[in-house]
Amino acid sequence: MQTATHLDREHCVRAVQSKDARFDGWFYTAVLTTGIYCRPSCPVVPPKPGNMTFYPSAAACQQAGFRACKRCRPDTSPGSPEWNRRADLVARAMRLIADGVVDREGVPGLAARLGYSTRQVERQLLAELGAGPLALARAQRAQTARLLIETTELPMAEIAFAAGFSSIRTFNDTVREVFALSPSALRDRLPRGRTPGDGTPGTLSLRLPFRAPLNPSNLFGHLAATAVPGVEEWRDGAYRRTLRLPYGHGIVALAPRPDHIACRLTLSDLRDLAVAISRCRRLLDLDADPVAVDDGLRADPLLAPLVDEGPGRRVPRTVDEAEFAVRAVLGQQVSTAAARTHAARLVAAHGKPLDDPEGGLTHLFPSPEALAAADPEGLAMPRTRRTTFTTLVRRLADGTLHLGVESDWAEARARLLDLPGFGPWTVDVIAMRALGDPDAFLPTDLGIRRAAGALGLPSTPAALTARAEAWRPWRAYAVQYLWATDNHPINFLPV
């Protein structure tokens, strides 16, 4: 399968005929005789090859006049793994669109964040995805509207506003065009006896899809073992945390299931729904292509047994890049428990309080602005670490350092390395878990060196880096498999 720029028709036809779910989100099949578009794994009898045409995005299908299939619901398929694997203009734009930037700031705001003209952004998105930023954002609004229609009892007027539509008429027209049903008809299709929502205002229960396999052990184990008290917790089989969002705040509970992630979201403002979902998917690396990753790492005979033992490992990431950078500094040269203690003190002193009737969450993690205004003398850390910390939060607060989804990975690395106290380990762990670079590597990490030595891999940083060239572009995933050889709590699903 090629990238979305040039869809290989023969491979697309074969994927559709075999109903291969691995390619859901990679491309979409539009059926000329029915006027609908599907995901490759649609359960209906595949159309004749001559009646198929292929598009790289749901927005392109909609723009060409096709409506979403009611059986396979292609608008709910996992996102393309291309946007997590790449750091070029199109990938960065797609991450920003998923984060709701077009709805909040328009196409000029999207272009300004990327450092390009609106014309350049539109041209490149059209060339690769067959749709411009407005069409891509419209497709996301339609999916948000569908979620609210099916999972809440909100009036349609409130749903239209929450999903980002400018008018009720636009909302009605878009839903009819995309789903071939009116908003009320979509709600009427719910199974008998099932009512949308659970009666709690602002709370939604969703299913987050992923490409199989998914190994939850290191993913949820890492998040639970490093959880900052007050901001994160493991409760009743779910990882829970607070979310700082563009219009308000939220609390999410995420629990692994065999074929999806159960997601329970409580939002202070429903306009944040699409952004919250996007950040949760990014946190759990749900749009990864685990088959491609694992096949690449299995080529090394010393890594192959680790992959075979627990395939589908994801990289635990973050919902807030600035928060993770701060926590990476707090974790320099200390234990996991000590890092949690330092972070908890910052949260209690500078975090914004909130209520959590369903658990023990108490605060949002402090913003860079709040931390930059804190008295440095009150920070319980060595003087050199304090300098590192205060410099970082000042740069994040004044905007001279950007670590958002729009970041150019190479530029962000260079800016981080210029900060006092930032060495290769800190920069690479931020690149791996905050920036989302799938090829970030930690050759100086003690756990990685210990695992490498036990497997017969080179254990010195330089020699291990040379050997790891063969693992590109998936070295961040190799880190997860190497870490998993240790008996550390981060590697085990909490009970």
**Bridging pattern class, strands 36-38 and 67-68:** parallel
Residue 197 region, left (φ>0) first, then alpha (ψ -120 to 50), else beta?
left
Report the C-alpha gap between 487 and 303 in whole angstroms: 18
Q: Cα-Cα-Cα-Cα dihedral of 459, 464, 470, 473, to 10°?
A: 110
Of 195, 79, 68, the C-alpha closest to 129 is 79
Instruction: List 243's β-bridge partners, or say none.
Output: 250
Of 140, 278, 281, the C-alpha closest to 214 is 281
User: Which long-range CB contacts under 8 A does 31-36 form with residues at least 24 apart?
Assistant: 31/66, 35/65, 35/66, 35/67, 36/66, 36/67, 36/68, 36/69, 36/180
Q: Which residue has the tokens 């930690």?
A: 442
E-only strand ranges, 360-435: 363-364
The catalytic position among 99, 287, 289, 445 is 445
Residues 111, 115, 116, CA angle at the centre, nearest 5°?
60
DSSP string across 181-200: S-HHHHHHTSPTT--SS-S-
Report the C-alpha gap between 99 and 93 in whole angstroms: 10
Instruction: List 215's β-bridge partners, or say none.
Output: 313
Residues 151/206, Cβ–Cβ less than 8 Å: yes
Active site residue 445: yes
The catalytic position among 12, 24, 38, 99 is 38
**Joined tokens for residue 93:** 């734009």
Report the C-alpha gap between 452 and 464 in whole angstroms: 8
DSSP string across 299-319: TSTTTHHHHHHS--B-----S
Exposure letters 256-295 (e unless 16+ CB within 10 A, then b): beeeebebbbbbeebbbbbbbbbbbbbbbbbbbbbebbbe
* Active-site annotation, residues: 38, 445
